[in-house]
Amino acid sequence: MSHLVPDRLSARGLTAFFHEQIPLTRAMELRVAESNAHRLVLEAPLAPNRNHLGTAFGGSLHALPTLACYGALWMVLREAGIDGHVVVKRTNAIYRAPVNGVLRAVCERPAAKVVQEFLSDLRRHKKARMDLKAIVEGANGKPAVELSGAFVAVV
């Protein structure tokens, strides 16, 4: 089944895609809070993502921004009409502060020029890599987690 269905491009559709294709996102109770040409924002409540200290579990704090980057690149593919796959090549996270409430990961969408070069490489080589960054917002608007990674699309 193709995942090029137009509803998949809405926040509700992307949430459904995550829940269907990546079961962990259901357990995390992930939802797409915002999806537009500028950024993708994912949220998850603290309760199913907490650790023994009552703060967000480190694995959830790594998974959520990874999923934000993955989702942002998946949206780039779908918006270009490409039914490809996204895989994680490498990620690195810096944990700056505990998260005591809703987990909120933000991935800024890449600039148009970067997207055009990426899509050109993907069409030519059937595989292309994009470096992306996401943060998990903490108290006072400062990043609690900063994640950077390389993500690969394959057609």
Between residues 27 and 37, which one has the greater pLDDT?
27
Q: What is the pLDDT of residues 137-147, one digit of tens each?
A: 998 879 999 99
pLDDT at 141: 78
pLDDT at 144: 98
Write the CA distances from 23 to 26, 29, 30, 140, 147, integer angstroms.
5, 10, 10, 32, 22
pLDDT at 139: 83
Of the chain, the percentage scoring pLDDT greater than 70 comes to 95
pLDDT at 2: 45
- DSSP code for 9: G
Q: What is the pLDDT of residues 66-92, one digit of tens each?
A: 999 999 999 999 999 999 999 999 999
Of the chain, the percentage scoring pLDDT greater than 90 comes to 91
Q: What distance in Å separates the CA atoms of residue 67 and residue 52, rounded to the nearest whole number?
A: 24
Which among 87, 93, 31, 99 is positioned nearest to 65, based on CA atoms?
93
Q: How many C-beta neighbours within 10 Å does residue 128 have?
A: 21
Task: State which amino acid sits at residue 155.
Answer: V
The angle at the Cα of 23, spanning 2 to 141, to the nearest 5 degrees, equals: 100
What ranges make up the beta strands (E) of 1-155? Answer: 31-35, 39-44, 85-95, 103-108, 127-137, 143-154
CATH 3.10.129.10 is held by the domain 6-154: yes
